[in-house]
Structure 1
Amino acid sequence: MNPALQGLLTIAIGVGGCLSYFYFSNQLLDKVIFPAKGPNAGKNINRANLVRPWLFLLPAILALGLYLAYPVFETIRLSLTERETLPDGTTVYNFVGLANYTQMASEPKFWEAMRNNMMWLIVVPAMSTAFGLLAAQLTDRISWGNIAKSLIFMPMAISFVGAAVIWKLVYDARPPGTEQIGVLNAIYVWMTGNDPQQWLTVPIWNSFLLMIVLIWIQTGFAMVILSAALRGIPEETIEAAIVDGASPLQIFFKIKVPQIMGTIVVVWTTITLVVLKVFDIVFAMTNGQWETQVLANYMFDKLFRANDWGVGSASAIVIMLLVTPILVWNVRNARAEMR
């Protein structure tokens, strides 16, 4: 079957299945289980209204249980066991307690990944939010601001792997004496006259070059959210500041930024969650070599290259433990704002 036709058929079946479920479950509830007739009609209507939300939430609850809750508990179980293949070909899982975590903590690559993740956490959310805020402020002050916003937001439409391929070409190095197609090396050779550099193999600097890719992508996201927040600031406060003789910088840092601080924090934490799970960019550009390893790529190496499910699962739990507090804080903050 043609892939496009298959995709359309899948969408039709999915949407049709959802509509059918909601329609027939509603009919079952109102016509069979709690019919709105007879001496208990009023009670039945109230009972149906109490059950109806849970009936509609049931598919989502089942999906979350199957695709979120079950994998979490299974990963925890695997992180406490060692996979062993017996001579007859059967696979058994032996309980080893925290041995996988101990082995993981003893590996230099794990601590390299932790160190790099911390670097990403410090640099990427801060730079993405700062550039996004700057772009949001400046694009609102120019006549072609909407075009500029579209261009800045465009990288968000590119997959992480696609962005990695683009930037790998930017950092590309050709042999000395040949024309450099990599923009960075072309500028470097033209300005210094030195031989081109293999930038992605230079420790420390290569990590920052990888971070630039994610900053380039996430700046558009930060800009869109912060631009909406800036537009929501009451004009009266800005006009009052202008009347009091405040400079544009004072208005920005002392009037605007404090009023959108909640939004800035939400943007920061959302980008932080993306950074903690970063994998595609590192995998496509360096594959964790030359001291660029991160936790998600370390987990992939253990699970699918070393076939060490115990340590791989343990590293997945570490990522989950790092992500969960920020996620919980973000949800609580969003609920507080809605109240």
Structure 2
Amino acid sequence: MKRIAFLSFGHWQDSPYSPVRTGGDALRQSIELAQTAEEIGVDGAFFRVHHFARQLGSPFPLLAAIGATTTRIEIGTGVIDMRYENPRHMAEDAAAADLIAAGRLQLGVSRGSPEQVVDGFRHFGHVPEPDDPDGARMAREATARFLTAIDGERFAEPSPHPMFPNPGGLLGVEPQTPGLRRRIWWGAGSRRTAEWTAAQGMNLMSSTLLTEDTGVPLHVLQAEQIRRFRAAWREAGWAWEPRVSVSRSIMPITTDLDRRLWANRNDSQDTVGFIDDHTVARFGRSYADEPDRLVEQLADDEAIAEADTLMLTVPSTLGVEYNVHLLRGVLEDVAPGVGWR
């Protein structure tokens, strides 16, 4: 059975037409959406992290709140931009959220995506080396320190006069949580990065955007990315099976409101463009149609077939009730026909 999760960007806007007008609305409704999604059978609640924007930017309080008020659903991010993070402080936050959720944290990290501001990570106190202007290497180095911290690395010399007795030897980040190291994902935008991800022993997250283009549809290129990831994983010799997720926008049209919102959209084909003004990228299509037609279209999606987890991007500004309607539509009217359920 394929795991089906939702991925929310957590937008809010001060508009009379939106039920999500403030940051507080976005946070509280994200918790409510995760709770209700668990009730209807969704397997995961994931949140995109963006800074300097009216979107969710501080994931761990949200994840901890969801973990404390649910019992089954996986909780995670897709993704945290590691250029902004203190890796050892993040290791403390991640372990705390995971313990509250009893081991359900699935944490997606990466170099991040185009930002709202110029070099926003510098405003958070993180300055890359001159030969690393966009901070890509800095993000990977921060991720390496994060991984060793959650894996129990002991690196700090204990004080000779501590406030509390020490157990002896060097100290590390506390608390520790069993298994978290195997539940870290990297958001890879290319086939080469997917191979690097496997070498690091991280699960693979692939979105509806790849930072390369070979002229084939995104789902075909993405399927190749996944196969390369799995081959590199076998070559690395890791002792556990990795997971792979892909994200899609899937809108079953079953009501008049659905039809007004999603019919006649012009994004039913991939597009090729640029990000960061110079990087060629392929952007994946959206799926919006009657359920029986969606079944036919999605049956041909090679990347979904290769992945074990499908993340459904949801229009968060439309509110909890409507997003539950969309999720239920995929679970009940689409997933069985494609063999996901």
| TM-score interval (norm. to shorter) | under 0.3
Taking CA–CA contacts closer than 8 Å with sequence separation of 6 or more, which of the two structures ends up with the larger relative contact order?
A: 1
Which protein has the bigger helix share?
A: 1
TM-score by length of 1: 0.24
TM-score by length of 2: 0.24
